[in-house]
């Protein structure tokens, strides 16, 4: 709903959150085209057509401050590209750019963000794997609604906006530096870095952060570094457990990661496994990329689709398809996989014939969802049948029992 912007008296009510960093202005406008069946092909300029199929339940995590009731001193957290951001109190409400940052907040035991870029891309059903952890996103707002309006930011009235300001200014037409500065000054600071992939031209002149580097920064913002450190221990144990289950390269299957267009896909957007949190489960498992040594161009650079005939030329041993995370395993098998089995060309694929077609995981991963997706992928690719991380330990950290 549109409404007037706050007047000069109300603009001063956020003085306790001081934005002292300057966002780097992006250079190039990154456009997107294309659509798919279950999800949009990228975080696109059209609203995603589907919603998450898993029924979300009300969150059982509660916000638990790490400080006592006395006032804390102001503190500053620094992150590229926003610079130094000073906080005079711990933020209570927030919005997140995507599911990566949202999941970090859940891992810290925070209430879910009031909004994310597209709620349908925040796959809360992953929390079903963690006992006693769930997220209700029924009241969560999609920031992108055929554009992103400042009025929506005023309406959400968040204490901090966990997103890269350059994403706002370069991902679609509409926002400029003045808009970012207005939100930071009148509502709450922006704090974030676009870390899920490393392909945007406007991100070439400043650093990226790994998942756990970004996670640590967010923990500093919310003054919950103790939970971050506990998750670091879980992650270290997890990494140690991964090492013996990853076969030698010569024994690993060749995997093609593709984004299927529709539930009866005949076109696919190819993803070369690369850096960024969106590929962490694949890189941690040292997945052998069937597309990496071909002439096929990565979708991030080409925005081009390939057809089934091209996929057959590569004939990967395993197909991992993105765009279907809103489906259950059973729904994916009975729709997408069944269609491929009955298709004249697709049925000739080795992966289809051997029942090695899987969902590839979402684009946005935080510390919890990465554990869930890496476990799932290890089971799919390497026939792992033992748990690689302690689910109860994860639940205990989220709930402040550590």
- Name the residue among 44, 29, 30, 31 with its Cα closest to residue 323: 44
Predicted confidence at residue 172, as pLDDT, reads 80
CA dihedral 148, 187, 184, 190 (to 10 degrees): -70
pLDDT value at 16 more than 80: no
| Domain contains 210 | yes
Which of 177, 208, 236 is a domain's end point?
236
Instruction: Tell me the pLDDT tens digit for each residue of 308-329.
Output: 999 999 999 999 999 999 999 9
pLDDT of residue 302: 76
Same-domain check for residues 257 and 370: yes
Bridge-based pairing of strands 160-162 and 94-96 is parallel
Average pLDDT, the chain: 86
CATH of the domain at 374: 3.40.50.1980
Q: Is residue 241 part of a domain?
A: no
Domain that residue 24 falls in = 10-236
Task: Kindly state whether residue 402 falls inside one of the protein's structural domains.
Answer: no
Residues 206 and 256 in one domain: no
Q: How far is CA 305 from the centre of its chain?
A: 23
Does 90 fall in a domain?
yes
Q: Is 161 domain-assigned?
A: yes
The pLDDT tens digits for 170-220 are: 988 879 999 999 999 999 999 999 999 998 999 999 999 999 999 999 999
Could you tell me if residue 2 is inside a domain?
no
| The last residue of a domain, from among 236, 261, 288 | 236
At residue 376, the pLDDT reads: 98
Backbone torsions φ then ψ of 121, nearest 5 degrees: -90, -5
Residue 149 banded pLDDT, cuts 50, 70, 90: very high
- Per the structure, the count of domains in the chain is 2
Residue 1: inside a domain: no
Write the pLDDT tens digit of every residue in 208-260.
999 999 999 999 999 999 999 999 999 999 999 999 999 999 999 999 999 99
pTM, to two decimals: 0.83
């Amino acid at each position: 709903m549109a409404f007037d912007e706050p007047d000069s008296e109300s603009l001063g009510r956020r003085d306790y959150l001081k934005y002292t960093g300057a966002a780097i202005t992006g250079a190039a406008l990154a456009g997107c085209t294309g659509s798919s069946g279950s999800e949009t092909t990228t975080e696109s300029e059209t609203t995603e057509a589907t919603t998450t199929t898993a029924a979300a339940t009300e969150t059982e995590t509660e916000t638990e401050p790490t400080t006592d009731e006395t006032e804390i001193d102001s503190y500053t957290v620094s992150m590229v590209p926003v610079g130094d951001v000073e906080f005079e109190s711990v933020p209570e409400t927030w919005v997140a750019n995507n599911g990566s940052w949202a999941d970090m907040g859940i891992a810290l035991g925070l209430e879910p963000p009031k909004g994310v870029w597209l709620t349908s891309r925040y796959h809360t059903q992953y929390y079903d794997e963690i006992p006693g952890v769930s997220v209700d996103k029924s009241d969560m707002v999609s920031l992108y609604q055929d554009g992103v309006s400042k009025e929506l930011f005023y309406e959400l009235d968040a204490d901090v906006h966990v997103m890269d300001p350059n994403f706002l200014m370069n991902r679609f037409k509409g926002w400029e530096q003045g808009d970012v500065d207005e939100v930071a000054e009148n509502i709450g600071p922006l704090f974030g870095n676009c870390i899920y992939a490393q392909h945007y031209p406007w991100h070439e002149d400043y650093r990226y952060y790994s998942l756990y580097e970004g996670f640590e920064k967010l923990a500093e913002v919310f003054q919950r570094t103790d939970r971050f450190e506990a998750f670091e221990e879980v992650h270290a144990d997890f990494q140690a457990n991964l090492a013996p289950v990853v076969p030698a390269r010569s024994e690993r299957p060749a995997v093609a990661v593709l984004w299927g267009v529709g539930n009866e896909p005949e076109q696919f957007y190819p993803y070369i496994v690369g850096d960024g949190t969106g590929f962490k489960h694949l890189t941690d498992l040292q997945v052998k990329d069937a597309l990496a040594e071909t002439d096929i161009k990565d979708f991030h650079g080409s925005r081009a689709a390939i057809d089934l005939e091209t996929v057959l030329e590569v004939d990967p041993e395993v197909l991992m398809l993105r765009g279907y995370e809103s489906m259950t395993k059973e729904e994916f098998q009975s729709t997408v996989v069944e269609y491929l089995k009955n298709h004249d060309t697709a049925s000739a694929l080795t992966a289809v014939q051997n029942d090695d077609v899987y969902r590839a995981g979402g684009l946005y991963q935080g510390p919890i969802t990465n554990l869930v997706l890496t476990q799932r992928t290890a089971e799919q690719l390497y026939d792992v049948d033992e748990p690689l991380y302690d689910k109860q330990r994860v639940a205990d950290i989220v709930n402040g029992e550590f």
